[in-house]
Amino acid sequence: MVVYFDGWCPLCRAAKERLSRLDRRGHLAFRSIREEAVVTETGISQEILARQMHVRTDDGQIIGGFPALVAIARLLPPLWPLWPFLVAAHWLGVGAAAYDWVARNRKIVPVGACDDGGCPIHREP
């Protein structure tokens, strides 16, 4: 599975590092959405890709947000105990709402994740 993440975002980079450590079987490959080739590869604009993490499943389907997190958890044995709760949160709609809130507010969650200048993803051009 290919995981598309925001390479400019400290929170996203930290999540990538955690997932890499949990991926003992090498199921995940990571690509920063800040690489121009990723936009071409996915057919999704960088703006949309930056809003939430996306994955490309083995069958070529691209999914984003909380469903992408559920798909990743299904592949990583250390996360299997959480998988039923993630699926339940998905079906109840609370998983997507929580994920979307964190994604929108990642400049402040967790506190101190960005440098003093703020996250580059939130800077005006």
Q: Can you give the pLDDT at residue 36? A: 86
User: Is residue 53 situated within a structural domain?
Assistant: yes
Residue 93 belongs to domain spanning: 2-119
pLDDT attached to residue 103: 78
Please tell me the predicted confidence (pLDDT) of residue 116.
Answer: 44
**CA of 32: how far to CAs of 16, 75, 79, 119, in Å?**
10, 20, 23, 16
Question: Does this model's pTM top 0.85?
Answer: no
Does residue 39 sit within a domain? Answer: yes
How does DSSP classify residue 105?
A: T
Decide if 34 is inside a domain.
Answer: yes
Domain count, the chain: 1
- On whether residue 8 sits in a domain, the answer given is yes
Residue 125 lies in a domain: no
Is it the case that residue 117 has pLDDT exceeding 60?
no
* Nearby residues of 82 by Cβ (< 8 Å), 6 or more positions away: 73
Residue 21 lies in a domain: yes
Question: Does residue 62 lie in a domain region?
Answer: yes
- Residue 87 contacts by C-beta under 8 Å, 6 or more apart in sequence? 70
124 within domain boundaries = no
For the cut 90, the answer to whether the pLDDT of residue 120 exceeds it is no
Q: What is the mean pLDDT of residues 94-110?
A: 77
Q: What is the pLDDT of residues 15-54, one digit of tens each?
A: 899 999 999 999 999 999 999 899 899 999 988 898 888 9
